[in-house]
Amino acid sequence: MASNHALILLGPPGAGKGTQAKLIAQRLGVPHLSTGDMFRDAVKRATPTGLLAKPIMERGELVPDSIVMKMVEERLARPDSGKGFVFDGFPRTLPQAEQLDGILNRLGFGRPIVVDIRVDADKLIQRLSGRWTCSVGGEIYNVFDMPPKVQGICDRDGGKLVQRADDRPEVVTARLVAYERQTKPLSDYYQRQGVLETVNGAAPVEEVSRRVARIVDDAVRRDGHL
């Protein structure tokens, strides 16, 4: 019997995970689960999780695994979780990846489809310095490559565009270090499972999304539906 899958987008800060996750989740009609968005929402609402995560995110470090896993498990317990998922920014450490394997197994999902979006560090720093995000719907823009039609205003819903607090240069450096130390090893982890695909994230958005869609379509044809 065909089983559902999780699509995991790996890649450093600024690689385009959020940009691609929104597009592919919409195309597949499955939920987009961004742990970064979930933490930013918790910070905005000043929930206990948000209060704990705020200073950690401001330093560009990773939130402890136990907090991340609790939040993800709560999200996956919702009724729409049977259809499949696009994970963006999760998992980010080996313990998170190992625990996710167990959860997916329990939910009866097939092996994940993992796409590693690769971009050089110089380009990442430039992209993050030019990123603006809609404060209403989360649409992502870039003043260099993907500017909004009207400066500071979201094309889609007219929301005010804001810059993320963790896109300040000194925090970006810390985030890149955290990625190298804690998240990059996940590529080997998934390579060993035989599920890792890579894409060149320096290509234009449309080209990256065509490549991601092709990887997903091939995996779905081979293993079942997402």
Residues noted as catalytic: 17, 92, 131, 164, 175
Is residue 54 involved in binding ligand AP5 (CB under 6 A)? no
* 33 neighbors 87 (Cβ within 8 angstroms): yes
Q: Does residue 16 belong to the site contacting ligand AP5 (CB under 6 A)?
A: yes
Stretch that binds ligand AP5, among 33-41, 155-163, 188-196, 217-225 (CB under 6 A): 33-41
- Give Cα 79 to chain centroid, integer Å: 21
What is the C-alpha radius of gyration for the chain, rounded to an integer number of angstroms? 17
Strands of 196-200's sheet in order across: 32-34, 85-88, 6-10, 113-118, 196-200
Residue among 103, 125, 146, 153 that touches ligand AP5 (CB under 6 A): 146
Q: For residue 127, state whether it binds ligand AP5 (rule: CB under 6 A).
A: yes
d(C-alpha 160, C-alpha 34), whole Å: 21
Phi first, then psi, for residue 120 (nearest 5°) are -65, 150
Q: Applying CB under 6 A, does 36 fall inside the site for ligand AP5?
A: yes
Q: Which residues bind ligand AP5 (CB under 6 A)?
A: 11, 13-19, 35-36, 39, 56-57, 60-63, 68, 89-90, 92, 96, 127, 130-131, 140-142, 145-146, 166, 175, 201, 203-205, 208
